[in-house]
A and B are shown apart, each in its own frame.
Chain A
């Protein structure tokens, strides 16, 4: 047995164990924390399977932003400590595990058999690898050249989800409750990291055309920076209020404009020409970064409970709000 096999088995066992623990943990808090561990393990799995693009997206979007979403949605309920005991007990949990385990092993057997049958030289992926796309990176070529319509619809889904979340939010987007925490160490940390994060965003965006990276990874990293800024009270640097909805739909709008442009010039919807296709891909990706970052930030901000706890002040994005002395606004620092 080679070291690679040992690593695979260890990794698979850990993923399975953590997934079961996540699903059957007795308390919400532990469930969410285990979920974060699961995300990190999955990043290792994607790297092992030779999918660095997916690993980057998982690390930034799935673990990072989803973790922020779940933890922020937890805050108040865990403080209240209510609704945390699952119904049924160990007997029903064991039954569920048995059903899912048996079904899963059977399904896994079928899938492995199907994968072996499907090993032909003319796989779709090999055809995609051979295509002479406008950019060198095969995954970006598939996303923005070969299957651009899929990506367009995906961006539309994200925009629709954010707009729906804004519509469902009772107070409207003018009062997204964010408690700002302006302790000096945290503020200095954010001031130091924000330029680095912006640099990383630009790198992911440009690197996406020749190596792993791209608009989605860049957008998620930028959303992280925006959230850090919001949480430390720098609302002036993040588009809010009036500019929120335009920022959310910008990516979709630019993507549609690119579709119309290619239809008019080249005669095919999203049919990228070899000469200026790279420019179109970069412009669309840049707009996507803004929209994805804005959308993810809004989703995290909206899923925060209205009252974090009885003593903390709730700031609104629209205007000034009281702040308690230990977490005083330190505008003069910034």
Chain B
């Protein structure tokens, strides 16, 4: 097993760990973290796929990973604003 393949398998494990935790945790803030870890796992899969094989790394998959990072931060930011709104609402009641 080469280096990129090791990270490919690691990416699969991290993705599933994050996804399972996302489904089972009761705390909303932790869910945001779990969502992010799931995203990090898929990025691991993408980037290690770009590095498998001989020659230069695949720029298409790296560009996809970059796009993914920006989308993830948008989603995380919006999710945290929503979490904050929910928890502020709890305190008002």
- Point out the residue from A8, A51, A83, A99 that lies within 8 Å of B20, measured CB to CB: A99
Q: Smallest Cβ distance from B5 to chain A, in angstroms?
A: 5
Q: Smallest Cβ distance from A67 to chain B, in angstroms?
A: 11
Given A101-B13, A299-B81, 13 extra CB contacts under 8 A: A19-B14, A19-B37, A48-B3, A62-B72, A77-B29, A107-B15, A112-B8, A124-B60, A126-B55, A150-B67, A157-B70, A170-B88, A299-B80
- Point out the residue from B17, B26, B49 that lies within 8 Å of A97, measured CB to CB: B17
Given A299-B77, A299-B78, A38 contacting B59 (CB threshold 8 A)? no
A-B contact pairs, 23 of them (CB 8 A): A5-B3, A9-B6, A16-B14, A19-B14, A38-B37, A42-B43, A45-B44, A45-B47, A50-B57, A51-B47, A54-B69, A61-B73, A62-B72, A70-B29, A73-B83, A100-B19, A105-B9, A126-B58, A143-B67, A154-B70, A157-B71, A158-B73, A299-B74
- Point out the residue from B32, B49, B71, B83 that lies within 8 Å of A154, measured CB to CB: B71
**Nearest-CB residue, chain A, relative to B65:** A54
List of B residues within 8 angstroms of A115 by Cβ: 4-5, 8, 49, 52
**Nearest-CB residue, chain B, relative to A28:** B29
Cα distance A304–B67 in the bound complex, in angstroms? 25
- The binding surface of chain B is classed by DSSP as helix
0/1 string, B56-93, CB within 8 A of A gives 1: 11111111111101111111111011111101100000
List of B residues within 8 angstroms of A20 by Cβ: 17
Judged by a CB distance under 8 angstroms, whether A103 is at the interface is yes
- Point out the residue from B29, B62, B75 that lies within 8 Å of A73, measured CB to CB: B29
List of B residues within 8 angstroms of A112 by Cβ: 1, 5, 8-9
